[in-house]
Amino acid sequence: MSNYVFVIDPNKQPQNPVHPAQARLLLNQGQAAVYRRYPFTIILKESKPESEIEQITLKIDPGSKTTGMALVQGNKVIWGAELTHRGQTIKMSLESRRSLRRSRRNRKTRYRQPRFLNRKRQEGGLTPSLQHRVETTLTWVNKLIKFAPIGSIVQELVRFDLQQLENPEISGIQYQQGELQGYEVRQYLLEKWGRKCAYCGIENVPLEVEHIHPKSQGGTDRISNLTVACHDCNQKKGNQDIQDFLSSKSDLLLRILRPAKQPLKDATAVNSTRWLLFNRLKETGLPVETGSGGLTKFNRTQLNLSKTHWLDAACVGKVETLKVLTNKPLLIKATGHGSRQMCRTDKLGFPSCYVPRFKFVKGFQTGDIVKAVVTKGKKIGTHIGRIAVRSSGSFNITLKEAIIQGISYKYCTTIHKKDGYLYAT
């Protein structure tokens, strides 16, 4: 069963969401029109006799990669969504820009003064990739407040004990005695790996610090992801994953991976953003409650629900019973609003192509969802999908199964304007 449909009156005030069958009936009878495709919302053409509006609770399960959302009316889950963030993409884009600018300073080209020493981060501010997680969540909270009569918000305010994740038996003074106590990183690694290359075992040669899981593939600088290797092995491994590099040496692979521990960057991201998100939610003016991660898991287990982000969100806070009236959450993926860069560059930083100055062509822009009814030619039919615009007015339409090229703008009607997200059900 699909999500319930949002309803707003002619004054754009939220009403009680309705079952998809009831929304279909209103549309067929001409009493309502489609107001928005994602999330699906209809607008009534005439005001109906005032009926009692039942308040809805918005529940949020923040995550590092995906945030779950659910709307609960009484004890009924009527709407769910999973919002996928693009924090890692932002981080990689910033690192790419930094490397291009750094290499440009070392070439005989226009010199760009480094500006990182002149900038001060706002007190209490977060890095762009972490700030993005908060902002996208708030964007959708504000959208839902406009389309549904939300009376309260419940957030899972989880806190991860990073040291306890590594050592469940830790207590007391052991928190101040980490594995690096009395060591520097390089010295610690030399002692840990016996002062020999972890891959070939050579001794009495200069050893280099090596990432077990490459940074280019999402690896971190945590001590458990570092080892020591000779120059030849380090160069030979490059940015290969350890599984590929040692695919024929299973014993050595097991010996290296045994000391490695679970990466904790996702838990760190949630820890860093949880209070900022909580304080920003309070600015909406709605009462905000919190629940622990343990309580969420207890509720989900008691209700025998599957482990998904949106059902986790429905189980946040105090829950006695839940009746799930939908099984198809809206899948939302943040894609951003494009780039302001006028000149695209290759991997070495040299110009590869130029971008038109104006994004809009004949009232359309790349990313809009359109309905194209083609009445003549080889591409007769109705095509619904996202468009890529061209200055000539001949667009490409991306469908689930293929890309239809060369569709004139005259056949296109906008269904949903580009808003920086991809949708699926």
Q: What is the CATH number of the domain that holds 67?
A: 3.30.420.10
CA triplet 68, 422, 388: central angle to 5 degrees?
Answer: 170
- For residues 306 and 403, state if they share a domain: no
Domain boundary among 216, 237, 257: 257
H or E stretch including 154?
strand 150-156
**The pairing of beta strand 323-324 with beta strand 76-84:** parallel
The verdict on residue 120 lying in a domain is: no
| Residue-level pLDDT at 68 | 95
| Residue-level pLDDT at 339 | 79
pTM over 0.85: no
The verdict on residue 389 lying in a domain is: yes
- For residues 148 and 277, state if they share a domain: yes
Radius of gyration from C-alpha coordinates of the chain: 27
- For residues 31 and 156, state if they share a domain: no
| Residue-level pLDDT at 413 | 92
pLDDT in tens, 59-99: 999 999 999 999 999 999 999 999 999 988 999 888 888 88
Which DSSP string corresponds to 241-280?
Answer: -HHHHTTT-HHHHHHHHTT-----HHHHHHHHHHHHHHHH
- For residues 274 and 220, state if they share a domain: no
How many CB atoms lie under 10 A from the CB of residue 264?
17
The count of structural domains within the chain is: 4
Whether the bond into 206 is cis, omega within 30 of 0: no
The verdict on residue 274 lying in a domain is: yes
How many Cα atoms sit within 13 Å of 330 on the Cβ side?
22
- For residues 324 and 376, state if they share a domain: no
- For residues 252 and 185, state if they share a domain: yes
| Residue-level pLDDT at 179 | 66
Domain boundary among 208, 238, 257: 257
CA separation for the pair 330, 5 (Å, rounded): 12
- For residues 78 and 158, state if they share a domain: yes
| Residue-level pLDDT at 282 | 94
| Residue-level pLDDT at 193 | 84
CA separation for the pair 230, 208 (Å, rounded): 6
CA separation for the pair 327, 78 (Å, rounded): 9
Identify which of 313, 321, 317 has the alpha carbon closest to the alpha carbon of residue 289: 317
The verdict on residue 101 lying in a domain is: no
CB 116 within 8 A of CB 105: no
The verdict on residue 75 lying in a domain is: yes
87-105 vs 128-147: helix crossing angle, rounded to 10: 140
- For residues 191 and 279, state if they share a domain: no
CA separation for the pair 228, 237 (Å, rounded): 12
| Residue-level pLDDT at 111 | 67
**The pairing of beta strand 207-211 with beta strand 226-230:** antiparallel
- For residues 157 and 277, state if they share a domain: yes
The verdict on residue 362 lying in a domain is: yes
- Below-70 pLDDT ranges, the chain: 1, 50, 108, 110-112, 116-117, 177, 179-183, 260-263
As a whole-number percent, the residues of the chain with pLDDT over 90 amount to 46
| Residue-level pLDDT at 2 | 85
Q: Assign residue 214 the CATH number of its domain.
A: 1.10.30
The verdict on residue 29 lying in a domain is: yes
Q: How far is CA 21 from the centre of its chain?
A: 32
> Which residue range(s) make up the domain with 31?
6-44
CA separation for the pair 208, 221 (Å, rounded): 14
- For residues 210 and 190, state if they share a domain: yes
Average pLDDT score over the chain: 87
Burial state string for 395-425 with b = 16 or more CB within 10 A and e = fewer than 16: bbbeeeeeebeebebebbeebbebeebebee
Domain boundary among 334, 360, 383: 334
- For residues 194 and 228, state if they share a domain: yes
- For residues 402 and 318, state if they share a domain: no
| Residue-level pLDDT at 191 | 80
The verdict on residue 400 lying in a domain is: yes
Q: How far is CA 374 from the centre of its chain?
A: 36
